[in-house]
Amino acid sequence: MLFSKLASAFEEVEKRSGRLEMTDLLAGIYRESEATEARKITYLIQGILAPPYEGIDLGMGERFAVQAISSAAGYAVKKVDEDYKKLGDLGLVAESLLGEKRQQSLSAQEMSASYVYDSMLRISKSAGAGSQDMKIKLLAEMLNNSTPQEGKFIVRFVTGQLRLGVGDATILDALSFTAAGDKSLREGLERAYNLCSDLGHVASSFLESPESVLEFRVELFKPIRPALAERLSTPEDIFEKLGKCAIENKFDGFRMQVHKKGKNVEIYSRKLEKITFMYPDVVEAARAIKAGEMIFEGEALAFNEKKNRFYSFQETMHRRRKYGIAESAKEYPLYVYAFDILYLNGEDYTQRSYSERRKALEKVFPSGLFRVSEKKIAESSADIEKAFAHSLEQGLEGIMAKDLGAPYVAGARKFAWIKLKKSYGKSVDTIDVVVVGYYLGRGQRAEFEFGGLLGAVYNPESGKLETVAKIGSGYSEEEMRNFEEMLSEIKTPEPPADLEWKIKPDFWVKPKYVVEVAFDDITLSPTHTCGMKRDKGYALRFPRMMRMRADKDEKESTTTQEVIEMYQLMKEKK
């Protein structure tokens, strides 16, 4: 497929707000794609070069793109910078200047989507002496061959600004429409994606043979998309939903998925990034486990031996680092509480009940630094209440209630697991929001040049971010300084392309950071776009910053549907 056709589709997608329209456009692309190129086309739509666990980063900042545009279009770097300040989008700058080239390339040729993808991959793999010049040269070559429209999307891709607002769910729908003309094949596609976490692989397999997605199996070293928990606000609600159930402590650490085959061990974060090198102590402990092959999940917490207590979440997060790993491991030794097993010695456990998985888990653990999360069986709401109180007495943040007969629901938020957390002050609960903008400090905060955040939640159905709160309190002076420093580095003149907004901050930022926010209530709002219908969205009342969530990305923030469900729960309680 010619890249020009893909770029034209991207242009049309940007103009559409309805998911069905986007689905039709993408289905049209897949119908014209060969199965062999579908993987690369899917990655281009997602704005990535590979699934997160492969760790392939393009490694090209805005300065490289500016120089490549200058070289390809024949304008001085100063001119490119000036246009960028005016337009706030390097993609639009490339489109404008390539349309008014001062020099025409005699060797310009049409590019296929595969050629563009392969060129991007070459850029990502360029390393060592002279690699910066090579990256600029490769990008300039693509821009030389580009139409203005193609150049716009190529530059947006390499600078991480493609953000079409197309969620994974829309791509899965489009694949189903390609073969069946409706969503009837969506369930099988989604299951395949949840098991391999590689949408490009799913697309190419599906276009080769639609039946193939039903044959996907759990594979070692291909992380499974983590199961997610629903939330309810009282033990009574939980027991009414689940009946007799298992209760486990909810730890305030960071989640990891461990894959082991003999002495070969890999660790993946909840974002499905490979983080093995950060945790040599966990790797050694996993190698010592008697089971030959396994995949299990656990919650890692740093333990203070002197005070005989767990460190806070923020202190535990000191273990997530690229440098000083040995020193950090010594200062913050970890315990990993294993809470689920997904694969054991050649057998897929994801389809087995919680009770079966738990028995298998208890046969393997405890082992070394791995412990087993405490489990109790609740036969009444009073049992749930007692377990919850016991959890809080231990300094933990709450409990997880689990359906005894449910399989492991990969990649989904269903009532197989339900969380009940302690409240913060008056807050019923907390949510995780993506930072999309920030405000200047005023009055007593003027010296910090930081006065609060604009937070958004993720709508997986539309692939969009939707604003839900202006967060003006809960910051220490040190946090205000840190936020100003961090956010000033990712400021953008224009709002994120995939953000639905009505309220405008002093500065927009790239959606990169996730924070946990406490609140008193959820109300209807004409200024926030979360779940907006008939000019009314949902907003947090009296939101306050609790902490950074470095272990989460924007797609793991609280969803629009969760906010709506919380609003309904709070309304019922009132």
Cα dist from 224 to 180, 271, 279, 320, 345, whole Å: 27, 11, 20, 21, 16
Q: What CA–CA distance (Å, rounded) separates 211 from 348?
A: 20
Q: Where are the alpha helices (DSSP H) in 126-167?
A: 131-144, 148-158
- Choosing from 250, 402, 464, 552, the catalytic residue is 250
Distance CA 183, CA 172 (A): 9
Span between the terminal Cα atoms of the chain, in Å: 57
Pick the closest to residue 479 from 557, 547, 431 (CA basis).
547
Q: Return contacts of 52-58, CB within 8 angstroms, 24+ apart.
A: 52/197, 52/271, 52/272, 52/273, 53/197, 53/222, 53/223, 53/268, 53/272, 53/273, 53/274, 54/274, 55/273, 55/274, 56/121, 56/124, 57/124, 58/120, 58/123, 58/124, 58/157, 58/158, 58/160
The helix/strand/coil state of 367 is strand
Q: Which two tokens stand for residue 185?
A: 């094949």
User: Residue 539 in contact with residue 530, Cβ under 8 Å?
Assistant: yes
Burial of 413 (0-12, 13-18, 19+ CB in 10 A): middle
Q: Is 244 a catalytic residue?
A: no
The SS3 call for residue 523 is strand
What's the maximum distance between 2 C-alpha atoms anywhere in the chain?
79
Q: In angstroms, rounded to a whole number, what is the distance separating the alpha carbons of residues 471 and 371? A: 38
Q: Tell me, what amino acid is at 303? A: F
Pair 163, 99: CB distance under 8 Å: no
Classify the phi-psi angles of 534: left when phi > 0, otherwise alpha if psi is within -120 to 50, otherwise beta. Answer: left
What stretches of 296-380 show up as alpha helix (H) in DSSP? 313-316, 325-331, 354-364
H-type helices in 394-476, by residue range? none
Q: How many CB atoms sit inside 10 A of residue 48's CB?
A: 20
Q: How many CB atoms sit inside 10 A of residue 105's CB?
A: 15
Between the alpha carbon of residue 44 and those of residues 178, 204, 329, 334, 344, the distances in Å are 18, 13, 38, 38, 35
Q: Which two tokens stand for residue 225?
A: 């998309």
Tokens of 137: 């040269």
d(CA 46, CA 162): 8
Yes or no: say if 282 and 275 are a contact pair by the CB < 8 Å rule: no
Show which residues are catalytic: 250
